[in-house]
Chains A and B, each alone.
Chain A
Amino acid sequence: MPDETGKQKPSIEQHLKACGVSRRGFLQLCSALMVTAPVGLALTQKGSVLQIAEAIGKAKRPSVVWLHFQDCTGCTETLLRTSAPDVAHLILDVISLDYHETLMAASGAQAEAALRQTIEDNAGKFVLVVEGAIPAKDDGVYMELGGRPGVQVLREVAGKAAAVIAIGSCASWGGVPSADPNPTGAVGVDSVVSGKPIVNLPGCPPNPYNLLAVVLEYVTMGKLPALDEFNRPKFAYDRVIHENCPRRAHFDAGRFAAAFGDEGHRKGWCLYKLGCKGPVTHAACATRHFNEIPGVWPIGVGTPCVGCTEKGVVWQMATFETVPIHLATPPETYPPIYSAAGRLQVGAAALVGAITGAVGGAAWVASQRFQSSAEAGVTRVAADIAYAEKLKGKPADKKED
């Protein structure tokens, strides 16, 4: 909302002071940001909380328009589950949330007017946050906002935005509504909007700090964080759950829970065999848990990850279906200095025995059939000599023709 006095908008720091937010609370927010997004976020590379605070403090409150489509409002809910500091309050002050159907007071024609006014006044400068999938089938008749198809509304609003943030799996790639058979043709924002920088923050719901970090980066540094090939910010989505999972040691040691409630499950062993999709799911849940309570995240409470950020995993693969490990890493066991090789096949041994026996037996039998030449030989040799003499007597052998 524009400032009442019509003057230049105050910086965030000034605004916070005006709203009575203590400096301590503000610094707590900044240190929380340092923890949540240490790598890949230019904002938090500053090095110290004070430097981050300074950077944010100088920024101006950006205008944010938040649209809902085929959603469950879970992504809004997740934003409200931050408690220290009171981020709900801060977000409404750090950013200027100019349109949010769930949180705003207006409705009906007033709401639509407010939307139109906002996008006109802040054209090219506001950030559009989209929650929920967009039904694109049949020219988008399956969801209408104020009588107009959602697709149309999105295109119009996004056309005037500076950047689009698609929060939640639904807005990122279609989410729940896009599960088979996808009767409404639900798709993500990047299938509808083109020509604008889009940041996908998949998750069902995503961690609220993902959104906060992206927005603050944009506000203070003027650019979006480094994105991967699916337009997901790398600081939160470049690693799979498996890589940072606190139960990884159990995986590496081969300790798996085989059934819910069994000994391994109760001891907190790896949930891979129960169908944990951690190895194929890109998200940061393993390091940043939910509701700001340590250990409150699916694997932490003993339920295997379902892969809620990944298209093709959640709502496509069976919950208890095991995933292949693409990035195999060494286990906790070590090979010995000398490892076994080769084995004795019984059939081959029998064959060798048979052949040796046969050959040996044949040799023995053959040898027995020889007889001492002393016994048999003398007369024969004499006969041969006689024959040779016979040959010498005649010039050539007589052969009939």
Chain B
Amino acid sequence: MPITRRELITGVAKVGLPAAVVVTVGKDVLKTEPIPVPNAAVGLLYDATICIGCKACVAACAEANNTPPDTRGDALHQAPSDLNDVTRNVIKLYRPDDGSAFSFVKRQCMHCLDPACAAGCPFQALHKDPETGVVSWTADKCIGCRYCTITCPFHIPRFQWAGFNPRVTKCEFCSHRLEKGLKPGCTSVCPTGAVIFGPRPVLLLEAKRRIQSSPGRYFQNRVYGELDNGGTQALYLSHVPFEKLGLPELGPESVPARTLRWQRRFYQYFALPALLYAGLVQVIRKSLKGHEQEAHEREKETGLRAQL
């Protein structure tokens, strides 16, 4: 006999009411935790008002990481049009048609405090170092699913589309140079000091000092990355709106925290699924019993073996 409406409603109520109570009462417990900042968090501060667009950092990045220059555009110049599988760092130009202020912008991995790329990576190929906070990619664990290229709100990781051994490329703060006590390639060659390297707290202080000493020079008098997306380790100062430079307005909550909250809660300790499974097993057992009985009756009737 199929489930009656009464049974259905009482069943739902039996489960739903306690759940609702738990959720309401336990709301504070379920609030999002603050994102931890790594102890030795390094960062870079890019000041778009000082950048002259010389692109020395683009060439230096290629050299420091031993990647060939991207000459796929015209075979003559290292002219990547965007980040790609051989370009970890690029200088772009925002030039509005109406002639108002233009700006260069240096785009590379933001090394978020709660990276969406690492949150989505199935086998933790993208991993945030707990000490320095550098988000790096491990070839051994990557399955090439390209989910990181979709989840990153800044659209940074790039997949290598040609060849049978594709890699995922993005800035890793030249960690091989950091180990030797050197600075990342891009920050070592900037002629104007537009991009500087240092511990994140120090850079934040420096950025705030600049804002304070030149009020009105910087957009919204704030440094992008302090709280944006839960905080990033690459900080930006600009005189034009950040959105125009391709840095989206993300709010103070990180993308994974904001979007995966319920997903994480549902699967916490696998409790809810296990409960559901137990319930299902009970229901199906009862249904199976009835079904088998009927099948045997039909067997007797028709003389043909039952099809369960």
Interface residues of A, Cβ cutoff 8 Å to B = 251-252, 254, 272, 325, 327-331, 333-341, 391-392, 395-397
Residues of A within 8 A of B105 (CB): 337
Residues of B within 8 A of A395 (CB): 303
For the complex, what is the distance from the CA of A330 to the CA of B90, rounded to whole Å? 10
Interface residues of B, Cβ cutoff 8 Å to A = 53, 55, 58-59, 69-71, 74-82, 90-94, 104-105, 244-246, 301-303
Q: Is the CB of B71 within 8 A of A339?
A: no
Residues of B within 8 A of A331 (CB): 76-79
Q: Is the CB of A397 within 8 A of B303?
A: yes
Q: Is the CB of B303 within 8 A of A396?
A: yes
Residues of B within 8 A of A335 (CB): 79-82, 90, 92-93
Q: Is the CB of B77 within 8 A of A336?
A: no
Residues of B within 8 A of A327 (CB): 69
Closest CB of chain B to A17's CB: distance in Å?
46
User: What residue in chain B is nearest A322 (Cβ atoms)?
Assistant: B76
For the complex, what is the distance from the CA of A8 to the CA of B124, rounded to whole Å? 79
Q: Is the CB of B77 within 8 A of A330?
A: yes
User: A334 and B69 in contact (CB under 8 A), knowing A252-B77, A254-B74, A328-B78?
Assistant: no
Number of A-B contacts (CB under 8 A): 67
User: What residue in chain B is nearest A340 (Cβ atoms)?
Assistant: B81
User: A328 and B90 in contact (CB under 8 A), knowing A335-B82, A337-B246?
Assistant: no
Q: Is the CB of B245 within 8 A of A334?
A: no
Closest 4 CB pairs of A and B: A334-B93, A330-B55, A331-B77, A328-B69
Q: Is the CB of B302 within 8 A of A330?
A: no
Q: Is the CB of A391 within 8 A of B302?
A: yes
For the complex, what is the distance from the CA of A335 to the CA of B95, rounded to whole Å? 11
For the complex, what is the distance from the CA of A277 to the CA of B71, rounded to whole Å? 19
Besides the known contacts A335-B93, A337-B244, 8 further A-B residue pairs in the complex with CB atoms under 8 A apart: A251-B76, A254-B77, A325-B75, A328-B76, A330-B55, A334-B53, A391-B301, A392-B301
Q: Is the CB of A336 within 8 A of B92?
A: yes
Q: Is the CB of A329 within 8 A of B69?
A: yes
For the complex, what is the distance from the CA of A30 to the CA of B82, rounded to whole Å? 49
User: What residue in chain A is nearest B243 (Cβ atoms)?
Assistant: A337
Residues of A within 8 A of B301 (CB): 391-392
For the complex, what is the distance from the CA of A230 to the CA of B80, rounded to whole Å? 34
Residues of A within 8 A of B82 (CB): 335, 339, 341
Residues of B within 8 A of A397 (CB): 302-303
Closest CB of chain B to A224's CB: distance in Å?
29
User: What residue in chain B is nearest A270 (Cβ atoms)?
Assistant: B76
Q: Is the CB of A339 within 8 A of B81?
A: yes
Closest CB of chain A to B169's CB: distance in Å?
16
Q: Is the CB of A329 within 8 A of B303?
A: no
Q: Is the CB of B79 within 8 A of A337?
A: no
Residues of A within 8 A of B58 (CB): 330
For the complex, what is the distance from the CA of A288 to the CA of B242, rounded to whole Å? 46
User: What residue in chain A is nearest B107 (Cβ atoms)?
Assistant: A337
Among B59, B77, B246, the one with the most A-chain Cβ atoms within 10 Å of its Cβ is B77
Q: Is the CB of A330 within 8 A of B78?
A: yes
For the complex, what is the distance from the CA of A12 to the CA of B90, rounded to whole Å? 55
For the complex, what is the distance from the CA of A329 to the CA of B57, rounded to whole Å? 11
For the complex, what is the distance from the CA of A328 to the CA of B242, rounded to whole Å? 31
Q: Is the CB of A337 within 8 A of B71?
A: no
User: What residue in chain B is nearest A333 (Cβ atoms)?
Assistant: B79
User: What residue in chain B is nearest A391 (Cβ atoms)?
Assistant: B302
For the complex, what is the distance from the CA of A397 to the CA of B70, rounded to whole Å? 79
Residues of B within 8 A of A339 (CB): 81-82
Which of A328, A337, A341, A391 makes the CB contact (< 8 A) with B77?
A328
User: What residue in chain A is nearest B53 (Cβ atoms)?
Assistant: A334
Which of B55, B75, B245, B303 makes the CB contact (< 8 A) with A337?
B245
Closest CB of chain A to B84's CB: distance in Å?
10
For the complex, what is the distance from the CA of A327 to the CA of B62, rounded to whole Å? 11
Closest CB of chain B to A279's CB: distance in Å?
9
Q: Is the CB of A337 within 8 A of B92?
A: yes
User: What residue in chain A is nearest B75 (Cβ atoms)?
Assistant: A325
15 A–B contacts, CB within 8 A, in A order: A254-B76, A272-B76, A325-B77, A329-B77, A329-B78, A330-B59, A331-B77, A334-B93, A334-B104, A335-B90, A337-B93, A337-B105, A337-B245, A391-B302, A395-B303
For the complex, what is the distance from the CA of A330 to the CA of B61, rounded to whole Å? 12
For the complex, what is the distance from the CA of A370 to the CA of B174, rounded to whole Å? 67
For the complex, what is the distance from the CA of A137 to the CA of B75, rounded to whole Å? 42
Closest CB of chain A to B39's CB: distance in Å?
35
For the complex, what is the distance from the CA of A392 to the CA of B5, rounded to whole Å? 35
Q: Is the CB of B94 within 8 A of A337?
A: yes
Among B79, B92, B105, B303, the one with the most A-chain Cβ atoms within 10 Å of its Cβ is B79
Residues of A within 8 A of B244 (CB): 337
For the complex, what is the distance from the CA of A335 to the CA of B92, rounded to whole Å? 5
Closest CB of chain B to A45's CB: distance in Å?
23
User: What residue in chain A is nearest B73 (Cβ atoms)?
Assistant: A331
For the complex, what is the distance from the CA of A333 to the CA of B80, rounded to whole Å? 10
Closest CB of chain B to A277's CB: distance in Å?
15
Residues of B within 8 A of A251 (CB): 76
Among A336, A340, A391, the one with the most B-chain Cβ atoms within 10 Å of its Cβ is A336
For the complex, what is the distance from the CA of A252 to the CA of B53, rounded to whole Å? 14
Closest CB of chain B to A267's CB: distance in Å?
19
Closest CB of chain B to A274's CB: distance in Å?
14
Closest CB of chain B to A37's CB: distance in Å?
24
Residues of A within 8 A of B303 (CB): 395-397
Residues of A within 8 A of B70 (CB): 328
Q: Is the CB of A325 within 8 A of B71?
A: yes
Residues of A within 8 A of B80 (CB): 335
For the complex, what is the distance from the CA of A272 to the CA of B76, rounded to whole Å? 10
